[in-house]
Amino acid sequence: MMHTAFKIFGADPITWDTLSGIDKAAPQLIIWAVPVMLAFTGLEYWLNNHDKRDYYNNKELWGSIFVGLGNLASNLVTKLLLFSMVWFVYNLIPWRQEFVWWMFFPCYILLDLCSYWAHRISHEQRFWWCTHITHHSGNHYNLAVSFRLSWIQQFKIIFFLPVILAGFHPLVFFVANQVAVLFQFWVHSEYVPRLHPFIEYIFATPSNHKVHHGSQEKYLDVNYGATFILWDRMFGTYQPLEERPVYGLTTPIPYSSNPFYLNFHEIKEIVADVKKADTFREKMFYIFGSPSKIGLMKKKQAEALAAVEQPAEVEA
């Protein structure tokens, strides 16, 4: 009989009972990591105060924590649905794979490639931006920003269909997904300096990722790589760190600890923009247009309006 390590494809379908056992046996890496992430965030917060830095705002910090707790809750609610979807597709395709530990590596690479495109499209189309804007709503850059994950980001599972259709075992898929999420925690820190050039060339390091959170025009819509920055180099979206980024959105939102506002304010703005749009084409632009272009356009409109109103105020 062929050894399991060599019998990669053509695995037997997984029954629902077996799936339940896999779900219970699967390592809950994110849950286990929460205390560690909170400890490192607390240490960074203490260092920030001790060194008199400007990396944190207390109201913003609480907002990050509340958003993170809500994200954990939403993940628990949708976990069974997503797990069932992966299981259904796995049983449907004939090239499903056995559970082999080293398949984690090709799964992770393909997952990261899909993550690049999901991330990129989330910045290029405002419809998907709604599932990601929460992460960019902080006006500071710190480890707590990694907690700012939208409560509706699970809709982006559609971008990861190539990984699911590749036939990876469900346990391999979910472990790779958890590791990918955890990797992104450490890159959200001002305290980590620029690393060795070889590491900076391949991976999404803090110096590479902080560019992505900048609101300067040259820092918009670049450096999408979650683990590998190589994707940005390959697809022409890489931008090196030059001057320190101005963090947050092109039109900064007020400091807020309200997680509902942080998660859903963009949806409210889209509805308002669509209502006031005159043509169907303009309405579609406000739904599917580039968020950065819409943001810059609104910023210029506000500046022009302020310039027109200023003389009247002075005269009065």
pLDDT tens readout for residues 93-152: 999 888 888 999 999 999 999 999 999 999 999 999 999 999 999 999 999 999 999 999
Q: Does 221 map to a domain?
A: no
Confidence at residue 209, expressed as pLDDT on a 0 to 100 scale: 97
Residue with the bigger pLDDT between 26 and 151: it is 151
Give the span between the Cα atoms of 254 and 248, in whole angstroms.
11
Residue 160 has pLDDT above 90, yes or no: yes
Mean pLDDT of 148-175: 92
Domain count, the chain: 1
- Identify the burial level of 212 via C-beta atoms within 10 angstroms of its C-beta, where 0-12 means exposed, 13-18 middle and 19 or more buried: buried
Q: Long-range CB contacts (< 8 A, 24+ apart) of 112-115?
A: 112/180, 112/225, 112/226, 112/227, 112/228, 112/231, 113/231, 114/159, 114/160, 114/162, 114/163, 115/159, 115/160, 115/180, 115/226, 115/227
Residue 221 has pLDDT above 60, yes or no: yes
Q: Does 292 map to a domain?
A: yes
Q: Does 312 map to a domain?
A: yes
Mean pLDDT of 16-29: 71
Domain that holds residue 250: 26-194+246-316
Confidence at residue 78, expressed as pLDDT on a 0 to 100 scale: 83
Residue 1 has pLDDT above 60, yes or no: no
Confidence of residue 23 (pLDDT cuts 50, 70, 90): low
Give the span between the Cα atoms of 192 and 186, in whole angstroms.
8
Where on the phi/psi map is residue 250: left (φ > 0), alpha (ψ -120 to 50), or beta? alpha
Count of beta carbons in the 10 Å neighbourhood of residue 72: 16
Q: Does 204 map to a domain?
A: no
What type of residue sits at position 69? L
Residue 222 has pLDDT above 60, yes or no: yes
Q: How many residues does the chain have?
A: 316
User: Nearest to residue 192, comparing CAs of 212, 202, 206?
Assistant: 206
Q: Does 235 map to a domain?
A: no
Mean pLDDT of 282-306: 83
Confidence at residue 7, expressed as pLDDT on a 0 to 100 scale: 61
Residue 89 has pLDDT above 60, yes or no: yes
Mean pLDDT of 190-216: 96
Question: For all residues of the chain together, what is the average pLDDT?
Answer: 89
Please, which residues bridge with residue 282 across strands?
none
Three-state DSSP state, 9:
strand
Residue 237 has pLDDT above 50, yes or no: yes
Mean pLDDT of 77-87: 82
Q: Does 13 map to a domain?
A: no
Confidence at residue 210, expressed as pLDDT on a 0 to 100 scale: 96
User: Nearest to residue 164, comparing CAs of 99, 74, 97, 72?
Assistant: 97
Q: Does 159 map to a domain?
A: yes
Residue 6 has pLDDT above 60, yes or no: no
Which tokens is 23 given?
Answer: 């779900």
Mean pLDDT of 147-173: 92
Q: Are 231 and 116 in contact (CB under 8 A)?
A: yes
Give the span between the Cα atoms of 115 and 209, in whole angstroms.
14
User: Nearest to residue 250, comparing CAs of 276, 213, 222, 283?
Assistant: 213
Residue with the bigger pLDDT between 314 and 136: it is 136
Confidence at residue 252, expressed as pLDDT on a 0 to 100 scale: 81
Confidence at residue 4, expressed as pLDDT on a 0 to 100 scale: 47
Q: Does 88 map to a domain?
A: yes
Confidence at residue 264, expressed as pLDDT on a 0 to 100 scale: 95
Confidence at residue 311, expressed as pLDDT on a 0 to 100 scale: 58
Count of beta carbons in the 10 Å neighbourhood of residue 133: 24
Mean pLDDT of 294-300: 77
